[in-house]
Structure 1
Amino acid sequence: MASESNQKQLSDIKFSVLDLSPIVVGGTASESLKNTLDLAQHVEKWGYTRYWLAEHHNMTGIASSATSVVIGHVAGGTSKIRVGSGGIMLPNHAPLVIAEQFGTLESLFPGRIDLGLGRAPGTDQLTAYALRRDKMSNGEDFPEQVEELRAYFNPSLAGGSRHVRAVPGEGLNIPIWLLGSSGFSAQMAGQLGLPFSFASHFSPKNTLGALRLYRTSFKPSDVLDKPYAMVGVNVIAAETDEKAKRLATSMQQQFLALIRNNPGQLKPPVDNMDEIWTPYEMAALEQQLGSSIIGGPETVKEKLQAFLDETQADEMIVNAQIFDHYDRLRSYEIVSDITGINPASNPL
C-alpha cells in the first residue's frame, strides 16, 4: 500500500538476489556452488522474489560461467523462488541454444524461470573470441539477436511458422528482461515493452538517466502495460556499521583487482584499505561503488529508502560480495527483516 506522501516504501516493492557464486581465497568452485544453493534456500524462506545468476568467463573468482546449468541446480534445490539469469550475455551464444536451454529449464520448473539478457561479453576480448569464434561479433546485433530469440518462444513475432524451432521452448511463457549499465538497453526495453534491470551496483552515475529513458520510451505490450524497473544494489549489512564496513573491504578489493586488471578470488576482509589502494584508485572505486549500502540495520534501512526515493524502482536486486558464507547469509537476512519481506518478521 502506498504511503500518505505517495512515495514508495520498502515494504511496497520486491527484493531479489543477484549471486555471482564467488570463489573465495582458499575455496573451490564446488564449495562456491554449494554455498549458492544454500543461500538460495535461505532467501526463499526470507521472502525474496527471484534469485539470479550472472554469466562471467575466465574469472577465477566466479563459479557461474555455465549459467544455465547453475540455474537448474538452484531451481532443483528450491521450490517457489523464481530463478534466472542476471544475465545471459546473448552475443556469446546462438539465440536458438539459449531458447532451448531456457525452454528446458521452464519445462523442468514451470512458472519459475526468468531470462535476463545483456549485450556485454562478461569477460575480456580474448575470451570473448574464444566463446564466439568471430571477431566481428561485438554486440552490435544485439537487437536482432533478441528479436530472433523471442521469436523462438513466440513464432507469431516472426510472422508465423518457421523451419527452425526451439524444442523445448516454443510456446512457453518465459519472462525476458533486458539488462544494462547505460541507455542502450534501457531504450530498447522501453520500446519493446519489456521489464528492465539496471546495473546500479557498478554504474551508479548512469542510473537515473537510464531509468528516465526507459520510462519515457516505454510502449505497452502483451508483456507489460506499464514500465517495470529493477535496480541492482550492493548491500553489505551486519549487526553494526563498523562490522559491515570491514566486511565490505572484500568487495572493495575485488573491484580494485579489476581496476588493476588482475581479477582473482574473493579476498578476506582487511582492517584498513588505505594500506592497499592509492588515492586515485579509491576515487575510481567510489565512482563504481558509490551506490553501495554498507552498515548496520538502521543505516541500511535509511539508505535503501533514500535509494528507493531517488529511483522509484519497482524492485531491487541485492548483490553481497562477502567473504564468509555465514556473514553473507546474515546480510541477506538483515535486509529481509528491515524491508518487511521476511514472513517470520512481518506476519501481516
Structure 2
Amino acid sequence: MIPFSVLDLSPVVRGATPGDALRNSRDLAIHAESLGFHRYWLAEHHNMTGIASAATAVVIGYVAEATRHIRVGSGGIMLPNHAPLVIAEQFGTLASLYPGRIDLGLGRAPGTDQGTARALRRTLGPSDDRFPDDVLELQRYLGPLQPGQAVRAVPGMDTNVPLWLLGSSLFSARLAAELGLPFAFASHFAPDLMLKALEVYRTMFRPSQTLARPYAMLGINVVAADTDDEARRLFTSQQQAFWNLRRGAPGQLPPPVNSLDGVWTPMEKAQVEHALSCAVVGSPTRVRDGLADFIARTGADELIITAQVFDHEARKRSYTLVAEQRERMAQAA
C-alpha cells in the first residue's frame, strides 16, 4: 500500500486567530504521526487571513519539535520569493535540528496576489526564467562543498535536504524529470493537467544521484465522516473558501452549511466542483473506494491528503477514518 501524507494549510477558521490555527496544526501533526501518516507538509501563502503558514520554515520547526519520526516539510516554499541561500540556511538549520526528517518542496508561483508578490520581492520578473537556475543553486548549497566554492550555507552545506518540485502544470513536471527529482502535483485544486503531467514526468525522467526512478505524489481532498451527509456538510467549508478565493475575496475558513443552494449560481457551483474534482467525500466505505479508484487511475506513488474542515476535532476524525481505511486497503492487498 502506498504511503499517505498530510498537506496542512493551517486554516484560520472564522472567529479564531492565527495562533489558534498554528496550535491546531501542531496538534494535528501529532495525531497524524500516531496514525502512521508518512509526512506532514505546510504551504507558503501570503496576505491571506485564512492561512497561518506564511513563515513556513518557522511552522515546520514548531511542528517538528512536537513530533518524533514523521517527516515534516514544505508543500511548498515559493522559491521565486526568496534567495536560494536564505532557503538553504533555513532548511539546513531545520535538518540540523531534526536530522533525517525534513523535506523541501519547491513551487514557482508567488503564493499570493501580485501586489503582495511585489512587497515580498520588490521587483517582479518571469519566474520561469530563473526557477531552474535557483533550484540548482539551492541544491548546490545543500550538497557537499565544491572546489573553489566561496559562498556556503551554514547550516545547510552537506545536509542534502531532499528537494521536491511542486506544480499544477507541465513546467515543473518536465524540470523534475530533467533533474531526477521527486514530483508532487497539485491535483487537489488544479486537476486538468494531472494525467498529462504524470505522463510527461514519467516519460522524460532521467535517473539521478537523488532518485533512480520517477516518484510522483498527488494532492487530493479527502473529508471523511461517519455518514455521507455529514462529510458533505463538512466539505462545504472548503467549497465556500475556494469560491471566495476565486472571487478575489479570500477570508477565514467559514463554518459548514447544510446546503449551498442559493449561496452560489449553477455556473459558480460547476466551476468549484470542477476545480475540486480530485476529492473523496463521504463515509468510510465511500472514502476507501474513492481512494482505491484514484490510486488505480493515476498510479500515484504517494497521496498527500488535505482537509479544510472548520471543526478541529472533526478534521482529526476525518484523518483517523482515512488511516483506518488505508489499513483495510493494505490488508486487502
CA shift, 1:135, in A, is 2.4
Match 2:222 to one of 222, 232, 235: 235
In structure 2, the residue matched to 1:198 is: 185
Aligned ranges for residues 32-111 of structure 1 at < 5 Å?
Answer: 32-111=21-100
In structure 1, the residue matched to 2:15 is: 26
In structure 1, the residue matched to 2:304 is: 317
Distance 2:20 2:263 in 1: 28
In structure 1, the residue matched to 2:174 is: 187
In structure 2, the residue matched to 1:334 is: 321
CA shift, 1:30, in A, is 0.7
* AA aligned opposite 1:97: V
Say whether the 8 Å CA contact 1:88–1:115 is kept in structure 2: yes
Aligned ranges for residues 1-348 of structure 1 at < 5 Å?
Answer: 12-136=1-125, 138-155=127-144, 160-340=147-327
Report the number of matched residues. 332
* AA aligned opposite 1:270: V
- SS of aligned partner of 1:275: coil
Say whether the 8 Å CA contact 1:238–1:296 is kept in structure 2: yes
Say whether the 8 Å CA contact 1:52–1:84 is kept in structure 2: yes
In structure 2, the residue matched to 1:7 is: none
- SS of aligned partner of 1:141: helix
Distance 1:261 1:139 in 2: 24
Distance 1:109 1:139 in 2: 32
* AA aligned opposite 2:75: G
* AA aligned opposite 1:101: Q
In structure 2, the residue matched to 1:5 is: none
Spell out structure 1 runs of 4+ moving beyond 2 A. Answer: 135-140
CA shift, 1:74, in A, is 0.2
In structure 2, the residue matched to 1:4 is: none
Gaps (5+ residues) in structure 1? 1-11
CA shift, 1:259, in A, is 1.4
Paired-residue identity, %: 59
1:276-335, CA deviations, whole angstroms, 9 ceiling, x for partnerless residues?
Answer: 111111111122101111000000100100100111001000000000000000000000
Say whether the 8 Å CA contact 1:46–1:341 is kept in structure 2: no
Distance 2:11 2:124 in 1: 29
- SS of aligned partner of 2:305: strand
- SS of aligned partner of 1:140: helix
In structure 2, the residue matched to 1:9 is: none
Distance 1:253 1:13 in 2: 31
Say whether the 8 Å CA contact 1:120–1:139 is kept in structure 2: no
* AA aligned opposite 2:38: T
Q: Are the structure 2 counterparts of residues 142 and 203 from structure 1 closer, same or farther at C-alpha, using a change threshold of 3 Å?
A: same
- SS of aligned partner of 1:101: helix
CA shift, 1:155, in A, is 5.0
CA shift, 1:139, in A, is 4.3
CA shift, 1:150, in A, is 0.5
Say whether the 8 Å CA contact 1:91–1:137 is kept in structure 2: no
* AA aligned opposite 2:223: I
Distance 1:205 1:172 in 2: 36
- SS of aligned partner of 2:13: coil
* AA aligned opposite 2:100: G
Gaps (5+ residues) in structure 2? none
CA shift, 1:341, in A, is 8.4
* AA aligned opposite 1:257: N
- SS of aligned partner of 2:220: strand
* AA aligned opposite 1:230: M
Distance 1:341 1:165 in 2: 48
- The root-mean-square deviation of aligned C-alpha atoms, in Å, is 1.5
- SS of aligned partner of 1:274: coil
CA shift, 1:271, in A, is 1.1
Distance 2:205 2:68 in 1: 33
